[in-house]
């Protein structure tokens, strides 16, 4: 890990801590979200709904969306949180973190309001 102690202050030189923090945030967000297989449905094409489908046939309304964003919401459901968190943690262990992973981590934390100053 490329973090160093300078006069008792921890400095995240390579962004590894940011990557781990973003992975943690992503997992917390997914854990608080509706589980299930998110799919686009509903009766109005211009106002589709995102619906979580569960084993046994149960469903739960997740969101109403515009036609152009419903597929995006459904595609980026909490089901993607673990593979994304794994990617961020893998990048955090590298000597030189993937710049794309670091940019994703920073943008995610900024959007969640948890970005570091």
Quick: pLDDT tens for 20-36.
999 999 999 999 999 99
Q: Give pLDDT tens digits for 44-54.
A: 878 899 999 99
In a domain, 68, yes or no: yes
SS3 content of the chain, % helix, strand, coil (to 5): 45, 20, 30
Whether the Cβ atoms of residue 102 and residue 22 lie closer than 8 Å to each other: no
Domain co-membership, 113 together with 56:
no
Residue numbers of the chain with a pLDDT score lower than 70: 1-14, 117
Task: Report the alpha-carbon distance of residue 47 to residue 49 in Å, rounded.
Answer: 7
Query: Of 80, 79, 44, whose CA–CA distance to 65 is shortest?
Result: 44
* Residue 23 CB partners (closer than 8 Å, separation 6+): 84, 85, 86, 88, 89, 92, 105
Total number of domains in the chain? 2
Domain co-membership, 64 together with 98:
no
Domain co-membership, 19 together with 42:
no
Range of the domain at 68: 34-76
Q: What is the pLDDT of residue 101?
A: 95
Domain co-membership, 101 together with 69:
no
In a domain, 8, yes or no: no
Count of residues in the chain = 117
pTM for this predicted structure = 0.76
């Amino acid at each position: 890990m490329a973090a160093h102690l300078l006069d008792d202050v921890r400095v995240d030189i390579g962004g590894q801590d940011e990557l781990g923090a973003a992975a943690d945030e992503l997992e917390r967000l997914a854990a608080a979200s509706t589980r299930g297989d998110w799919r686009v449905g509903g009766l109005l094409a211009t106002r589709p709904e995102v619906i979580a489908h569960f084993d046994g046939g149960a469903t739960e309304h997740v969101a109403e969306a515009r036609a152009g964003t419903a597929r995006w919401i459904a595609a980026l459901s909490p089901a993607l949180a673990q593979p994304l968190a794994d990617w961020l943690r893998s990048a955090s262990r590298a000597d030189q973190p993937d710049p794309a992973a670091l940019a994703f981590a920073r943008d995610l934390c900024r959007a969640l309001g948890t970005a570091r100053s």
